[in-house]
Amino acid sequence: MELLVATRNKKKLQEIRELLVGLDLKVTFLADYNDMPEIIEDGKTFEANAAIKACTIAQYAKKLVLGEDSGLEVKALGNRPGVYSARYSGAGATDKKNNLKILRELKGVPLKKRAARYRCAVALADAKGLIGVVSGSCSGLIGFKSRGASGFGYDPLFVIEKYGKTFAELGLLIKHKMSHRFKALKKARGLMARYLKRYLQVSS
């Protein structure tokens, strides 16, 4: 069975594929198709946006679809950027611009007050509607400068206290064992496994 991931972000797709290894699924994403509809991410929460992505594409493509929405919440910034994480620096936002904006806003804030958490919501839907939504989170601190070359998003700033290193320094092998996306997808695997079992029973 095909699982269509409602994203055009190749790095995010790579992580999702690696975290879903072992499931009998062909994982594709929006860039594999030419005619997918625009997704209006107007939800107020990660869970709402994940569901919007999954349901919008599932209704159009008539396939099993995974919608994922994730971002960074910084306590000292009132949990910003939150659902606006990917576009935090405005029009033409890039990972680098977003990271620089966070650093500017936290200028002068000591490390112990730079608590943050990554959050991720994963929704699964098919042509009949929403199947379920699960979530995960990972706590850390925002460093004083970008460090490391692995990952994407705010990974060069997100320090894991246990290691004293950012996700971008730790690399995917360690990140995949503890990240917000790992925790959410671990729960989503259960949703998918139950769905596939029902699908096979109906098909047989």
- What letter would DSSP give residue 36? P
Phi first, then psi: give them for residue 167, nearest 5 degrees. -55, -35
Q: Is residue 49 scored above 70 in pLDDT?
A: yes
Question: How much is the pLDDT for 107?
Answer: 97
Q: Is residue 204 scored above 70 in pLDDT?
A: no
Q: Which residues contact 94 (CB under 8 A, 6 or more apart)?
A: none
Q: Is residue 141 scored above 80 in pLDDT?
A: yes
- The model's pLDDT over 3-47, given as tens digits with 9 standing for 90+, comes to 999 999 998 999 999 888 888 889 999 999 988 999 999 999 999
For residues 136-160, average pLDDT: 97
- For residue 195, the one-letter residue type is Y
Q: Is residue 147 scored above 90 in pLDDT?
A: yes
What amino acid positions are annotated as catalytic residues? 69
Question: What are 137's two structure tokens?
Answer: 């989170």
What is the spatial distance between Cα 45 and Cα 53, in angstroms, rounded to a whole number? 13
DSSP assignments along 4-54, one per residue: EES---HHHHHHHHHHTTTSS-EEEEGGG-S-PPPP----SSHHHHHHHHH
Give the global pTM. 0.92
E strand spans, 59-189: 64-74, 80-81, 115-126, 129-142, 158-160, 165-166
For residue 199, give its domain range: 2-203
**pLDDT higher at 190 or 109:** 109
In the chain, the number of structural domains is: 1
Cα angle value 92/98/100 (rounded, 5°) = 120
Q: Which residues contact 85 (CB under 8 A, 6 or more apart)?
A: 70, 71, 72, 98, 153, 154
Confidence of residue 197 (pLDDT cuts 50, 70, 90): confident
CA nearest neighbour of 12 among 64, 88, 67: 67
Helix (H) or strand (E) holding 192: helix 180-203
Q: Is residue 74 scored above 70 in pLDDT?
A: yes
CATH number (domain holding residue 80): 3.90.950.10
